[in-house]
Structure 1
Amino acid sequence: MDRDSDQESVSSSSSSSSSASASSSSSSSSAASRGTDLGRAKENIVTKLLPPLYKLMNKKYNITNGKLLKILYGRWRSRHRVNNIKNQGEERIKQDKRRAKKNSRMQDKKKRRTKATNYLIEGKDKYIVRYPEGDLVKILKDSGYHSEEWEETDPEEDWTVIRPAVVEDGEVIEEAVKEKSTSVYIYDKWWRSSALLRLLHDRIDPTVELLRKKPPTLNPKKADNISASSVPPMGAPNWCLNQESLKQFNRSSVDIPIYDYDTDDNHDKDKEEIPNRTNSNSRKKRKTKKNPKQKRTKKHKSK
């Protein structure tokens, strides 16, 4: 009996090992086939697609084969990602469209703020020139310094009433018909300091609105929730972080520079100086005026 059981165990182990080896060999063969397919696809791209594309692009742009390959690879990755999202269902497609709109708004916000900052620098704005140029470049280029804007459905109480409710004897016979509305909700980041917010909101954004040619299509609203998962970008200056984030990220809170100093005092002084200068100019003009009556009473010398 023992010998029979030993033989059965040996046969079962040998069969399991053979099946495992067969599965491993099949997986390795499938991986090898995929590798050969990718190799053939890459060879076709390099030998068949790239030469005519290079000739066409090189007529207008100074471009290399390496750059073209990067462009093609990026396009392939994008199409591959879109195809995967489509396979995950309608809800995933909606989420991706919403995310794409958020990213588009972020890029537009950075471009507008960069344009406004350059406008202020060219005009030698007394506030913007105090900030280091390197810090301004970091802040304007990196999306991490700017608040995110998400398109969301408004609460039902904010919807527009198309047809009011029908009420008789204190009872609602027919409910009001409302039109669903959406707005852009701005989510602030918890770690940003008041100095950074002053730079963005008080110094740059007014010029953004001044240079804006078209009004925004959706109504911007500040969200009640704050983005708690965000972290400061790598190498963010200490003056961009508030006290709570300085402690959490083990940053020094000593000798933090203040670039927008004496803001309110300087602003009030400027307002006071402007009317004084205008009054002095008007007084000067009055002194230089001639009285026409003096000309009439002037005596002529006899010849």
Structure 2
Amino acid sequence: MNVHDPRPPGASGLSVRDLAVNYGPVTALRGISLDVPRGAVVTVLGGNGAGKSTLLRAVSGTLRFQRGGITSGEVTLDGVKLSGAATSAVVARGVVQVPEGRRVFARMTVEENLRAGALGARDRRSAAEARERVLELFPVLAERARQRAGLLSGGEQQMLAMGRAMMACPEVLLLDEPTLGLAPLMAARIAETVREINAQGTTVLLVEQNAAMALSLASHAYVLEVGEIALSGPAAELAASDEVRRRYLGVGGDAGDPPARPDGAAVRRPALSRWSA
């Protein structure tokens, strides 16, 4: 290892340990611990108000903009502490968030939005390469380069928001509800793009209410309930559990009456003890 490399030996990926977050007197997260290994897609599921967006804000250093703050615990990337750092420092370290609701600069053109995304890049010399990569991922942005971002469709604005984040050449991309409000076809396109971004080497922490889509993309999943992790495990295992299927996938009936296999035997899906009666 290079002597100037600040990473502890063996550290790899994004890590959250015993994280607690408050908005004034209100506790939003309690004792959150999770890992996002290098090169993985990890998803966080949960209902409205569970704390999913707060978790991403804690990682990206944007809590202060909502008058929130970390009261205990820490966030690290490759063993280097991020919690407490300025948002610009977190971006420079390689962690970039795409916020819920897209939040593009509506009066600026598509091209100007992309250039704005490169301002916090770790290596501005790579801006041209990043732009080329973004336009390969989202060809429509090249066609709309001189158009004001506020005039784009919802799906195009989501592409622009993701493209703007990719201009910073992130090592870890934080996605907050990327398919929210999109038509099924556009949501599927966004999901495929997330898969491609990850295949090209970017680690992804995905917050998403479309649980079926999120679990199909991720290798590991966490479920938040009222600011705490209710359960976690391999995404395929959670997708097969009766509780997750009933609560988040909208399928399945009585957990005590699992479906039968072709041979007539009952199918036993993973039991989640925290949710057991």
TM-score interval, smaller chain: under 0.3
User: What TM-score, normalized to structure 1?
Assistant: 0.22
Q: Which has the higher contact order (CA 8 A, sep 6+)?
A: 2
Q: Give the number of the structure whose alpha-carbon radius of gyration is greater.
A: 1
Larger fraction in strand: 2
- TM-score of the pair, normalised by structure 2: 0.24
Q: Which has the higher helix share?
A: 1
